[in-house]
Structure 1
Amino acid sequence: MDLKLSYQKMQALLVEGNKMALDTLEGYLEPFKFYRVWTAVGVDEAMLAIKDRPIDIIITGWKMQPISGLQLVEMARRRPELKDAPILLVADRRDKHLEKIGKDSGATAVIGHPITAKDVQRVVDEMLSKRIDPQHEQFLAHMEAARQAERRKKSAEAIEAYRQALELFEDETAMMALARLLRRAGDEDGATKLLFATLRANPDALKAYLELAMIYRGQSRLEDALKVMQAALGAAERLKHGGLTKASLYYYMGEIELQLKHLQKALGHFDLAMGELPDDVEMASNIGDALAGQGHYAESEQYYQKALELDPSLAHVYNRLGIAHRRQGKHDMALNLYRKALAFHPNDEHLLYNMARVHWELAEYQLASEVLTKALEINPELVEAQRLLGAALHRMGFQVTADGAPPEPGDD
């Protein structure tokens, strides 16, 4: 039996009078690796499945009550989408007369008990092989080879396999995968051409817009990246995507506007992102990070505070908001914030270190040294805390082993 990759895209429906018989049939079909195998006990359940799902093949027992498998075949054939679908009817005995009745009623094939796994697999393979497009089968083989190469981290092999697949069919998945690999390999022109081809075929391909924007952003073509993201927003609206999708697009546009030094435009996009996800802690924190990373500490505060309102236990957000306060000279606010944070995380050496930084800037060297000592008790390997403690002790008149006062360390 030559199992085809195309089988992995198909959905099968198994119908029998009891669960044990269904389990047996399902086991027989395992080698086919169908995309989905649906099961139904009786004809009523089977008809519900047929109405709700795209079925490529039906395998049904004959002897069922109150409606027989033979009647199911006749009912299925009356549905336009199943007019030509393969249907295998399993009779309770081997009988040429039953086989003729079954086929006259619309069954593609009839087999009778006793049956084996090989019997079922042979007949199913014969029925389905006639429906396989050899070119599509070859396309799937190239796609599988490309995925296998990617898993082995053989990028050149994967690129070649995707190219071979695309010679057969212009497939969005293949184009996107090849564009991603080309970009990683440094062939941005090749990746860009593929992404434009993807968007010509499907103007709503959101991932293609994002990949293209990333290329433009990496090339410092920020205005072009913004235009692409605006087009992506249009696609998201056509697809009626909201929530995370639109919030992510707005956030990405805000980051680009920050790079362009357009603070107010960036804030507008960030507010739209939060409007899509008003209770998302990660989004609020990420926006705060984006603003603080560009030196906009005052603007970052409201987003960090929003994150803490949603989850008061976030140590990393306390740290970042505290740094934002300190950078603006709001030392009392920073200290109050770190005290609140330490109530949740008393053994967080990074919180203690950044609290000590505030005391250092206020020339409160004794307090700084006490806090740093606690931090180093928790993590003796925290190098920045070691340096700052040496500097504080030096300022207090103690002899330190380092050559002079250590340089002021950075934020943790």
Structure 2
Amino acid sequence: MFEDLSTKLESAFKSVSGQARLSDINVAETVREIRRALLDADVNYEVARSLTSAVKEKALGQGGLASVTPGQQFTKIVYDELVSALGQEQEEITFSQVPPTVILIAGLQGSGKTTFSAKLAKWLKDQGKNPMLAAADVYRPAAVDQLRTLASDIDVPVHSIAEKDALRVAKEAVSEAKKAARDVLIIDTAGRMHVDEHMMDEVSRIRQTVNATEVLFVVDAMTGQDAVNTARQFNKQIDFDGVVLTKLDGDTRGGAAISIRNVVDKPIKFVSTGEKMDTISPFYPDRMAQRILGMGDVVTLVEKAQEQYDEVQARKLQSKLASNSFNLEDFYGQLQQIKKMGSMKDLVGMIPGMSKQLGDAEIDDDTMKPVEAIINSMTIEERRNPQIIKGSRRKRIAQGSGTTVREVNDLLKQFGQMKKMMKTMTKMNKAGRAMEGLKNLTGKRKFH
């Protein structure tokens, strides 16, 4: 996401990069390019104008700093204004002091409400909550079945009824949640192809009847300004508490994310970047601003890694690396851990500078499938001892995995190179720790 906007903003900064200082001329030129980049990204006109006016005022009001270049100074100003436009601070869900906390999910049809409802249930469950879902989208064909299927995958109960009575579903769900000691109830409401009075009225009545703690409005980030306009209309009618941006992994220009906070004056609370149940995360304005400016998002990447981190497994892996016994079975296990962290495209976007280096290269979750197929076609002995895989074995593995002998050869060659690199890094780490130990023992004496 935001690749096009990031590229255009980087291009705009060239007007001040390499300059001795910020001046009226280079600031005006850069601000003009930034405004054009924001408008091209489908950012609301008033938001783009306000943001760039603030950038210009701050840039001209600052004197030159000896420690930073004009380009760095300008980037920091734009970063600060983007964070401000996106909401400044991360805002969490409000939980009721008396359970259950009732979270109402609203939005247009096709925005991803039902999928998000299940994702939110899983996310809350991972946070130690005990959630329950209610299928109040009683009009869309198969909506109830979809929610049941998703809920079954994450082992969360769903309350539904045969009749098309959304208000009754919501009321009964609250009673059921109390009986089952469920501390959070997520109600998936019906959407329409467009905003209409009946839908607004139904959501309003459900909110009043169940005394909803939180109302989240789900918008498809790919719809750009339409998403912002829909959010404005919904907010006038039901006064929601927060926004959820879905499909941020798609071909989105980013305009909705930057505009919506200012237009409706409500915080973005969650973002969703895929179909899998774990592709949801709280919204952090500073991290999003970093990604827009091409700085990556290392903090989120580390958090995702920590979610999959197994300390016992990590120690075993470290021991294998130290003894140079890391094999294809271990490598396959690490691939599965990476896959659990989210989509490859999203992960790559979190690494500073990686999106720029890859350019327009397509990155999808199928990239590693041939590698997995090759490893799965090996015997246990072959995975643990790759050095025994010679001509006839390679041919058999290629046939079994639907790949070519050349692809099998490439994998084995790359794995061998990776092992050598890991061995070198392990030795360097050992040497570094030994040197640090010597320094600690001998005070400040230097070793060469």
Give the structure-2-normalised TM-score. 0.27
Provide TM-score, normalisation by structure 1: 0.29
Which structure dedicates a bigger proportion of its chain to helix?
A: 1
If asked which structure has higher relative contact order (CA below 8 Å, sep 6+), I would say 2
